Structure 1
Amino acid sequence: MFWAYALPIVLLPNTLHLPADVGMATSLALLACATIFGSRDPPGFPRTSYLLPPLTGLFLALLLGYVIAQWHDASTAGADLVQAKYAIIYPLLYLAYRHCGLDPGATRNLIVLALVVAAAAGLEAVFQGLQFDLREFSDQQRATGPFGEVTAANRAGVFFAIFLPMLAALALQPGCRRTVRLLALSGSLILVAAILFTFSRQSYLIAVLGILLLLIHRGVPKAVLALVLIAGAGAILLPESALQRMEETRQVGMGGAQAFDGSTASRLELWRGSLAMLADHPAGVGLGRFGDHIGEYTGFPGKDAHNGFVLMLAECGPFGLAMMLWLVWRLLALTHRLRATARSLAWPEAHALAVGSTVAVVCMAAGNLFGSPFFSALVMNSFWVLCGLVERYGTALACAAKPRAPDARPGHLTGIEPRFPLAARALPGFRAAHHARSRE
């Protein structure tokens, strides 16, 4: 059943390269068959999914948001149901891979495959970027890789920034094999170039944050030195168009006054309008209804919140935001458990994956501070797959690290008394005879 789990990892990020809905439908069909006919977890393998409680809470929040939306206006019930369906399906990918029934080696291979697919998507974006005029920035020249039109550039950048720490952590881990580190370094450079060609400023910040956290994990003095060297190299190597894009964040107005560019200023107004919306609708305006109401509070009707947490708060109320934050916290706790397991085993590769996945969660959360890709299929489906695989891999390593109880000798008391305590008490002579035989 390995290939039934491997093919969706390849298909899901490349859905737009296939006929409409073929990639998603094929992936779900393969996962359904693998779930039904695949191997079960071995005895003693923990069956409880660490993220199931917050995911359940999140699903309840989405259900509540859907009910609120229909309460106000049921004219688009079908479209709202489709949005709710997609919001629920993608996190379920985590459960499918958490309970895939594969051994640790196969699970590790799937993690490697997910990283290879991410690097391949980045390579496609790099090829797109090399065709641009890099002397001057243009909104119509932004790489997206396999993620579609130029309007998807920000979300493509977030996708690349989420997977960058996983590869960079392997490249920075001293104990890993040299071949692994070189391949991981190559993949990291590809994703850095891909992020650069998306011209997504939020992705620039997220990538820098991720690399900074990885360097700090190696030691603060090394992190400072590395950042100085990277900044110097970047100032020399960055194309003029990327520098122009970063300079757009703050602009000089009449009289020399500093001001934010239109994109940044619109986000600030949207967030203020979202708080005013929440004041009028304390339980939220309903799932998928943010764009219908934001025009009442800002000059941007139909716009997205450009912040996943603000969007959840505005649509599903404080309960929805609490469930989303709980899920992020549990993700960080999950990766912390994997780091502890990897340290106990002194396994460099597992430790690198644990550190990389922790930073990947931070980058995912950061990506939702300046955008709202939390329920975006092309960005998050691979992330949920990775979460399921990482949890399964860490759980399998923890099970392998547990010491096994020594086998009892034939006729020894430990084989009888723990299982039949009442019989041992009722027949003390029988117990004494077993004690005598065990001492011989």
Structure 2
Amino acid sequence: MFRRALLAIPIVLMPNSLHVPFDTGLAGLNVANLLLIVLLLSMPARRPDMPPPAPGILRAPLLLLFASLVIGLLIALATRPGTLVTDLTDLKNFIFYPLLYFVYRHCRQDLAGTRQLLALMLVVAIVAGLESVGEGIARDSFSSFDDSKRIAGPFGGARVSNRAGVFFAMFLPLLVAFALFVRGRRIWRLIAIAGIVVLVVAIMVTFSRQSYLIAVVTTALLLLRRHLLLAGLLAVAMVPAISLLPEGVTQRVVETQQLNEIGEAELDVSTASRFDIWDGAMRMWRDNPAGVGFGRFPSYIGSYSDYEGYDAHNMYVLMLAECGPLGLIAMLWLLWRLLKLAITVRRSSDPDDRESQALALGFGLAVVAMAMGNLYGSSFNEGLVMANFWILCGLVEHYATLKRHARTSPVVAPAPVTDAIYQRFPMAGQIAPGLYRPQEK
């Protein structure tokens, strides 16, 4: 129970870390770093009723990703040296959060404890959504679109609202899958539906167009899997339903394409700037095939575009530009293994186990949401957004391991007490009569 409570702390703490003083003053370590060390040191030995440890599905691609980052840092230090402490801290922050996958993959919790931690994660996402909705109402964000009215809830100010939208969009499919596919748990389904409403509204107030798209795509895929007719009706009703959305949301969607002074359609500045940055990043990579080095993209992009000091706004482009093909291969391999993890959950459980099937579908689309969220932004290395996703990966794989172990482990009946033992210890037959096997004559 104590360890379960210890495992619950990061789930609550990570998305809300801006509400908590984090500095420790110990060589760049914060509370989250120290908590991870405590979890690693307190990991108990394997319990007899637990399946034997096995290499995690994500271990190999994560190790390759870490290796590509270290190589990228060496390239950066060799070609354009910066502040070593800053570079090492950035590398530590990038690597730290995926390590949570390993901690929760080997958390040694039973099935009930794993379910509780997964449920807590969804509750934390809903509470973060409620904070965003409350802030949006207080600032009247729904009346009209304004960059200053964009909401990010516990993740910070308007500048990180896109990343907040990705966080909500990643956890939305889990709630939708639970509401659609799990039967016989009416109260929990109602809670899931309420959570869906909260996260949808929270996504709206972020005014993140990529998050709007992610939410629509993942929900539509789940509806296609469960109710084909309902999905078709919603598709038909979607266009006229846009007029029912809050004015600020419709303004944000419509402004993606605008008319210039002579009436020609053109992309808004935010969208157009990304294409210019990506084009510059490709030319940057052609000039530096091994990458410009970890953390060096902002200092190089000004030579290839008009956006000096900008982020790539695309994690795949960023990895290619900074760490070369090795970094991009590691990212794509990791995405494939994440999808394989979702397939593993589905295959590890009984086809009639609605809970496991819902978890597999919801997690698979959470992976799709994460992948899409890094096409128009680079939230992959943002700990506040990704920490609970890595915890989710570890818990989901641990859950699949427990389910597979329960299905494949034969039920071993206790060995009967032989006649010889009974003759030596006559009370054995009275203490446990079902175990006594009399000698056949």
TM-score after normalising by structure 2: 0.89
Q: 1:174 Cα shift?
A: 4.5
Q: 1:402-427: per-residue Cα shift (whole Å, max 9, x none)?
A: 14175697899xxxxxxxxxxxxxxx
Q: 1:232-271: per-residue Cα shift (whole Å, max 9, x none)?
A: 44432x1111111111100011332110000000000011
1:304-343 superposed matches below 5 A: 304-342=311-349
**Corresponding residue to 2:41 among 16, 27, 36:** 36
Whether 1:25 aligns to 2:30 is yes
- Counterpart-to-counterpart distance in 2, 1:180 and 1:209: 24
Q: Are the counterparts in 2 of residues 41 and 99 from structure 1 also a CA contact under 8 Å?
A: no
Show structure 1 runs of 5+ residues with no match. 413-438
| Structure 1 residues 294 and 247, CA gap change in structure 2 (3 angstroms) | same
Match of 2:425 in 1: none
- Counterpart-to-counterpart distance in 2, 1:29 and 1:102: 21
Whether 1:361 aligns to 2:367 is yes
- Counterpart-to-counterpart distance in 2, 1:128 and 1:259: 33
Match of 1:16 in 2: 18
- Counterpart-to-counterpart distance in 2, 1:75 and 1:257: 45
Match of 1:422 in 2: none
Q: Are the counterparts in 2 of residues 16 and 147 from structure 1 also a CA contact under 8 Å?
A: yes
Aligned residues: 412
- Counterpart-to-counterpart distance in 1, 2:357 and 2:388: 21
Q: 3-state SS of the aligned residue for 2:262? A: helix
Letter in 1 for 2:69: L
Q: Are the counterparts in 2 of residues 45 and 399 from structure 1 also a CA contact under 8 Å?
A: no
Whether 1:240 aligns to 2:247 is yes
Letter in 1 for 2:353: W
Match of 2:379 in 1: 373
Q: Are the counterparts in 1 of residues 182 and 358 from structure 2 also a CA contact under 8 Å?
A: no
**Corresponding residue to 2:303 among 282, 296, 299:** 296
Match of 1:220 in 2: 228
Match of 2:146 in 1: 138
| Structure 1 residues 253 and 348, CA gap change in structure 2 (3 angstroms) | same
- Counterpart-to-counterpart distance in 1, 2:12 and 2:269: 37
Q: 3-state SS of the aligned residue for 1:256? A: coil
Q: 3-state SS of the aligned residue for 1:255? A: coil
1:133-282 superposed matches below 5 A: 133=140, 134-229=142-237, 231-236=239-244, 238-282=245-289
Q: 1:230 Cα shift?
A: 5.2
Q: 1:180 Cα shift?
A: 1.2
Whether 1:125 aligns to 2:127 is no
Q: Are the counterparts in 1 of residues 22 and 30 from structure 2 also a CA contact under 8 Å?
A: no
- Counterpart-to-counterpart distance in 2, 1:174 and 1:232: 31
Q: 1:376 Cα shift?
A: 0.4
Q: 1:31 Cα shift?
A: 3.8
Letter in 2 for 1:400: A
Q: 3-state SS of the aligned residue for 2:291? A: coil
Q: 3-state SS of the aligned residue for 2:44? A: coil
| Structure 1 residues 120 and 178, CA gap change in structure 2 (3 angstroms) | same
TM-score after normalising by structure 1: 0.89
Whether 1:91 aligns to 2:102 is no
Whether 1:3 aligns to 2:5 is yes
Q: Are the counterparts in 2 of residues 4 and 31 from structure 1 also a CA contact under 8 Å?
A: no
- Counterpart-to-counterpart distance in 1, 2:282 and 2:43: 48
- Counterpart-to-counterpart distance in 1, 2:85 and 2:39: 30
Q: Are the counterparts in 2 of residues 5 and 31 from structure 1 also a CA contact under 8 Å?
A: no
Letter in 2 for 1:356: G
Whether 1:48 aligns to 2:50 is no
